[in-house]
Structure 1
Amino acid sequence: MVELHRSTKNRKGFYVRMKFFRTRNSKPEKPFCFRYFKWLLWFSLSFYFFAKFLNNHEPSTNSLKKTIISHSQSNVVSRALSESVPQQPRINQGLLKNLKVYVYELPSKYNSDWLSNKRCNNHLFASEVAIHKALMKSDVRTFDPSEADFFFVPVYVSCNFSTVNGFPAIGHARALLSSAVELISSELPFWKRSNGSDHVFVASHDYGACFHAMEDRAMADGIPDFMKNSIILQTFGVKYKHPCQDVENIVIPPYISPEDVQSTLSKSPIEGRRDIFVFFRGKMEVHPKNVSGRYYSKRVRTEILRKYGNDRRFYLKRHRFAGYQSEIVRSVFCLCPLGWAPWSPRLVESVALGCIPVIIADGIRLPYETTVPWSEISLTVREKDVAKLGAVLDKVAATNLSAIQRNLWDPQLRRALLFHDDMEIGDATWEVLVELSMKLGRSYRRSRLSSE
């Protein structure tokens, strides 16, 4: 018999007292099944109170090592539950060569603390946040670093906005990233064993991992030594030799909110009327800023305004407003001239809203060039030829405009350039993984497997 009593000494918890049934003439008073049930009940109650005690007294820790252990234990439970709980369709890992990515769970000062400012999620450099969020919920994520091909280091460095001009101030980036690398290399062995070559960072700034907004300063500072062996996901990319891309890198698109794009298209369908021939809205200096000898946009935007400011075919505005995407979706051609750096968020907005991007940035490398057929959906005009822009666009409009628009309006292209919090097959984070799957030769785990 089992009796359950409350402890009078400790005043908390219970204790179990067991009484064995007496026998008469060597025969049990109760059936065997009852005795078996008694032992089972005793064991169950003991296990329950012991587990509850451990749960209530588990120490809290930020240790990366202990995080790995706890995830390994929870995976056993997750596998058991997955058989009974309906699951969403999983990604076919064969498409990504069974790629596995381990996401470091760093202290919040490196990432989530910055999200207190809502702009951190939505400004043009926010791909560092979007990729992290998508990987955290992706099927490619592994909680076991021993089976990872790549290691993602989630540090947000673009969310420190200047109180003077409101632009991201990234002067702290090197120190913050260096601190993160010191932490992961001291707590776990994976950085040191490959010297960081299978580790992935996001550097979604004007000049990537050089971490400065002015090109000459960025080039002088260069890429931090501790990142030179790693893989950098960066919006900056050029086809000529440049110290700010002198590292293994993947060119990614700048961040544009997919919700904003969807909202615009819900009001004005992509195949709708386009009554603006050439569109540009943004900074165009009548006299370009000269910052210590550095001219904004290499004077390209100034030349566009001087040459076409009074041309009715050109809808040129020098200031942005919140609903400017409603103008893009009405336009045939959208100018994408360089600013301080070659790339521009206008490139993504134009493609997403069905306006033919006119790229004016010599030597630019475009995002996902192996996937997105840029030559079939965009035009490229050399910086020195901006004075001929009108004639170039008139010729395209009279010849192959329909063919370019037909290619451009493929929804798969829009998907490829937009980041989603929940990764979708074919979206911008998916394309990052496709690019990483082509670099599996840098994976320490894969190289070990191939040599065995």
Structure 2
Amino acid sequence: MAGKQFPSLARARPASSRCLLGGAALLFLFLAASYFLLLPSSSGLAIPSAGFAAATTSFLASLDRFLTSPRRSASSAAPGDLDAAILAEEEARLYGDPRGAWPAAAAPLRVYVYEMPSKFTYDLLRLFRDSYRETTNLTSNGSPVHRLVEQHSIDYWLWADLIAPESQRLLKNAIRVRRQEEADIFYVPFFTTISFFLLEKQECKALYREALKWVTDQPAWQRSEGRDHVIPVHHPWSFKSVRRFVKKAIWLLPDMDSTGNWYKPGQVYLEKDVILPYVPNVDLCDSKCVSETQSRRNKLLFFRGRLRRNAGGKIRSKLVTELKDAEGIVIEEGTAGAKGKAAAQNGMRKSLFCLSPAGDTPSSARLFDAIVSGCIPVIISDELELPFEGILDYRKVSSVCCSI
């Protein structure tokens, strides 16, 4: 996300300055979040943190614990005059020091988390948990629904961390505030991906309209037209029927897809939105695993997945034609499910390079599968924007990024 901080605008233009105030900090919040998103759902990796002996990275295990734990304390409602409250808060922050000193530049991002009705939050999480075993039906691209929900579960991981007790939180560069006038940004915890996949089409659209009305009725939204609000739209189909009404908000996306197939022109752009990685489908190959598999990587290039895709993904069939008989290269049709995951994981851990062509969108979860497998990804995709590519040097993990 691009943006600069102009503290002097806080008094002159309080409504618009708050859209800029959290720009850089927001980027670092999600950069930190991406670290946890890159941990595969089955790794069970322990992450040291103050007051937190081991972090659960299994989506289902974490979700079950989350839903059985006591509800977190609520945030306060908007004050009667939000503009006046924000102005008072900013003046106290900027001029409250008796020595006239400015606050430290590295202040944490202050996030207000909306208390939405359960139908938009807890009820959808329970629906997924309770129907997980039955959601094995395949989508049009051959992926099980439950796996797609897990791949795009950034909305759960961020929300669960933001509302956790402070001693248990993993992300320390953002704090949750209880009063709206204290906030730099507002987080909307609506599970757009779960509702898209698990509700009937008309029921889903109706819930989208209800969520839209609830959010746009909030005083803070009306004050900024949503410019300081964060909405998870991480699956390319989620929230699609009402996106045009929230296009000024900050969207959390898997990619930009400037082709216009998934996002309309003017709805997404790098100056306001944040690209977050997919959650990998394979287990993490840690440093010990990488060391053990190094001598067994006897394949030059590996790809396992669907060989026929739409739009930019059509390159896959061309690659098959060109590479199918080359020595040391394995390109095979993939299958979903546990056997398919095991085959993909085994192949990646035996290969030096892993082919990562475009899918139906310019991005592909396979890129992050390769990264956590210790396999060097070969990225082949037009119009691809990688998560935080302005900060992360992908040349350190990938061999080539080329246009077709």
With structure 2 as the length reference, what TM-score do the two structures score?
0.58
Instruction: Note if 1:149 corresponds to 2:168.
Output: no
**Which has the higher mean CA deviation after the structures are superposed, 168-177 or 358-367?**
168-177
CA displacement, residues 356-386 of structure 1 (integer Å, 9 cap, x when unaligned): 1111111211101122101333211322xxx
Is the Cα–Cα contact under 8 Å of residues 157 and 172 in structure 1 kept in the other structure? no
Alignment partner, residue 357 of structure 2: 337
Instruction: Note if 1:158 corresponds to 2:193.
Output: yes
Alignment partner, residue 320 of structure 2: 305
Deviation, structure 1 residue 255: 1.9
Deviation, structure 1 residue 249: 0.8
Tell me the SS of whatever aligns to 1:100. Answer: strand
Equivalent of 1:101, from 89, 106, 111?
111
Mapping of residues 127-146 of structure 1, within 5 Å: 127-137=154-164, 138=169, 140-146=175-181
CA displacement, residues 245-302 of structure 1 (integer Å, 9 cap, x when unaligned): 6332111111226xx534x4487335733222101110013xx6xxxxxx45452111
Alignment partner, residue 232 of structure 1: 251
Is the Cα–Cα contact under 8 Å of residues 237 and 245 in structure 1 kept in the other structure? no
C-alpha change, 1:96 and 1:314, in structure 2 (3 Å) is farther
Deviation, structure 1 residue 133: 1.6
Is the Cα–Cα contact under 8 Å of residues 205 and 236 in structure 1 kept in the other structure? no
Instruction: Note if 1:113 corresponds to 2:138.
Output: no
C-alpha change, 1:208 and 1:107, in structure 2 (3 Å) is closer
C-alpha change, 1:161 and 1:268, in structure 2 (3 Å) is farther
- AA at the equivalent of 2:190: V
Equivalent of 1:205, from 235, 249, 255?
235
CA displacement, residues 125-162 of structure 1 (integer Å, 9 cap, x when unaligned): 21222222222234511122220110000111212476
Alignment partner, residue 284 of structure 1: 307
Equivalent of 2:380, from 351, 360, 372?
360
Mapping of residues 9-28 of structure 1, within 5 Å: none
C-alpha change, 1:113 and 1:207, in structure 2 (3 Å) is closer
Instruction: Note if 1:251 corresponds to 2:278.
Output: no
CA displacement, residues 98-124 of structure 1 (integer Å, 9 cap, x when unaligned): 210011121221122222324568621
Alignment partner, residue 411 of structure 1: none
Instruction: Note if 1:182 corresponds to 2:220.
Output: no
Instruction: Note if 1:261 corresponds to 2:261.
Output: no
Tell me the SS of whatever aligns to 1:322. Answer: helix
RMSD, aligned CA: 3.4
**Aligned length in residues:** 271
C-alpha change, 1:317 and 1:124, in structure 2 (3 Å) is same
- AA at the equivalent of 2:355: L
Equivalent of 1:349, from 363, 366, 369?
369
CA displacement, residues 53-111 of structure 1 (integer Å, 9 cap, x when unaligned): xxxxxxxxxxxxx94349x9xxxxxxxxxxxxxxxxxxxx9785321001112122112
C-alpha change, 1:94 and 1:346, in structure 2 (3 Å) is farther
C-alpha change, 1:374 and 1:145, in structure 2 (3 Å) is same
Alignment partner, residue 449 of structure 1: none
- AA at the equivalent of 2:370: S
Alignment partner, residue 68 of structure 1: 75
- AA at the equivalent of 1:196: G
Alignment partner, residue 298 of structure 2: 275
C-alpha change, 1:370 and 1:381, in structure 2 (3 Å) is closer
- AA at the equivalent of 1:243: K
Is the Cα–Cα contact under 8 Å of residues 216 and 222 in structure 2 kept in the other structure? yes
Structure-1 separation of matches of 2:105 and 2:259: 31
When Rg is computed on C-alpha atoms for both structures, the one with the higher figure is 1
Structure 2 unaligned spans of 5+: 1-72, 80-102, 133-145
- AA at the equivalent of 1:101: V
Structure-1 separation of matches of 2:315 and 2:247: 33
Structure-2 separation of matches of 1:296 and 1:229: 27
- AA at the equivalent of 1:145: Q
Alignment partner, residue 7 of structure 2: none
Identity in percent: 26
Structure-2 separation of matches of 1:149 and 1:380: 36
**Which has the higher mean CA deviation after the structures are superposed, 124-133 or 170-179?**
170-179
**Which has the higher mean CA deviation after the structures are superposed, 136-145 or 226-235?**
136-145
C-alpha change, 1:162 and 1:367, in structure 2 (3 Å) is closer
C-alpha change, 1:200 and 1:172, in structure 2 (3 Å) is farther
Structure-2 separation of matches of 1:181 and 1:128: 17
Structure-2 separation of matches of 1:369 and 1:239: 16
Tell me the SS of whatever aligns to 1:335. Answer: strand
Larger RCO: 1 or 2 (CA < 8 Å, sep 6+): 2
Structure-1 separation of matches of 2:203 and 2:234: 15
